[in-house]
């Protein structure tokens, strides 16, 4: 899990959510639809970035290798933890809730990342993972043009099916799947937000799972 380019382009990353509030609202609603309510106190977002998702969802802690985004997360009320997804600085079973938001495309070792998430979750804990679904129509456009983005050039986009398979291989049981953003996210209006069950059509796919 690497820090750059989110370390060097923190402002541009953070401002995207303000400029595209329809897509941001859709992503929040998709996450909210599968998250425990309220999110447990012993919670962590892995790859928290600037805290754009952890803060409104009530996730108390956020881990990231990049210091500049972590400072933004701290300003939003999220306790910052510097570290990488492949080696979490938490004891076995220390957490009740773990979430990843599009982070699986950026980690160095997906299997180790999910094994670490499994290790730090208590037996009846919850994991929520969101991916930019490469199999969706908008995801295919993202894949074709990813080299044009400083953020996505090095991303390894996965499909929602692949994410579910990776979770199952890591010892999780998938319980729920939802999707949103069925058009260009820069054109989505907040009033048009639509969250549906399943995956394959929406760019932003969210999966909830529990450790076996």
Q: Which pLDDT belongs to residue 182?
A: 98
Nearest CA-CA partner of 179 in 129, 110, 126, 105? 129
Residues of the chain below pLDDT 70: 1-3, 5
Is the pTM higher than 0.95? The answer reads: no
Q: Which pLDDT belongs to residue 176?
A: 98
CA pair distance 78, 110, nearest whole angstrom: 25
pLDDT per residue over 2-27, tens digit each?
557 677 778 888 999 999 999 999 99
Q: Which pLDDT belongs to residue 2?
A: 53
Q: Which pLDDT belongs to residue 12?
A: 87
Q: Which pLDDT belongs to residue 153?
A: 80
CATH tag, 5-211: 3.40.50.150
Radius of gyration of the chain (CA): 16
pLDDT per residue over 125-152, tens digit each?
999 999 999 999 999 999 998 888 777 7
């Amino acid at each position: 899990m690497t820090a750059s380019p989110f370390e060097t382009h923190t402002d541009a990353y953070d401002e995207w959510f303000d400029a595209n509030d329809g897509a941001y609202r859709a992503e929040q609603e998709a996450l909210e639809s599968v998250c425990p309510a309220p999110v447990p106190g012993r919670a962590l977002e892995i790859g928290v970035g600037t805290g754009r998702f952890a803060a409104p969802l009530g996730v108390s802690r956020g881990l990231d290798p990049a210091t500049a985004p972590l400072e933004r997360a701290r300003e939003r009320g999220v306790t910052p933890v510097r570290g990488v997804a492949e080696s979490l600085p938490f004891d076995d079973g220390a957490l009740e809730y773990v979430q990843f938001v599009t982070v699986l495309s950026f980690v160095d070792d997906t299997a180790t990342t999910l094994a670490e998430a499994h290790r730090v979750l208590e037996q009846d804990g919850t994991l929520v993972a969101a991916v930019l679904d490469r199999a969706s129509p908008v995801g295919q456009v993202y894949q074709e043009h990813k080299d044009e983005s400083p953020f996505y050039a090095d991303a390894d986009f996965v499909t929602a099916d692949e994410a579910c398979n990776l979770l199952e291989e890591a010892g999780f049981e998938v319980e729920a799947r939802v999707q949103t953003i069925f058009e260009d996210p820069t054109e989505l209006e907040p009033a048009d937000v639509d969250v549906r069950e399943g995956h394959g059509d929406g760019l932003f796919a969210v999966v909830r799972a529990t450790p076996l």
